[in-house]
């Protein structure tokens, strides 16, 4: 069975977490999606690269989530979420996923 790259998990967690929070109006459900996807992505990054890289990419994931909030005030919610998800996915691919 093919593995899902960490880039896909991370981008999916950011987009999916926001979508779930928005559509259910339950922020904690969106946070759960964000957290589960982040843990899954970190495990994949650790397998494909190493613990230091996984930690750095996990920090980038959390920073993207936090950074999407002020960015949303300037460009709108969905563009901000898609922008940070794309940035995290590209970084993940460049640093860890293309190795595997």
Q: Could you read off the pLDDT of 15-69 as tens digits, one per residue?
A: 999 999 999 999 999 999 999 999 999 999 999 999 999 999 999 999 999 999 9
Chain segment 74-93, per-residue pLDDT in tens: 999 999 999 999 999 999 99
Identify which of 19, 3, 20, 15 has the alpha carbon closest to the alpha carbon of residue 88.
15
pLDDT of res. 2: 59
Cα–Cα distance for residue pair 58/16, rounded to 1 Å: 17
Cα–Cα distance for residue pair 88/82, rounded to 1 Å: 10
pLDDT of res. 97: 85
* DSSP letter string, 45-94: HHHHS-HHHHHHHHHHHHHHHHHHHHHHHHH-HHHHHHHHHHHHHHHHHH
């Amino acid at each position: 069975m093919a593995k899902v790259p960490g880039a896909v998990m991370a981008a999916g967690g950011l987009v999916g977490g926001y979508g779930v929070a928005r559509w259910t109006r339950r922020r904690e459900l969106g946070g759960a999606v964000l957290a589960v996807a982040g843990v899954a992505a970190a495990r994949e990054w650790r397998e494909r690269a190493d613990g230091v890289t996984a930690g750095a990419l996990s920090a980038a994931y959390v920073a993207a989530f936090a950074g999407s909030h002020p960015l949303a005030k300037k460009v709108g919610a969905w563009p901000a979420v898609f922008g940070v998800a794309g940035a995290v996915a590209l970084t993940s691919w460049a640093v860890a996923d293309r190795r595997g």
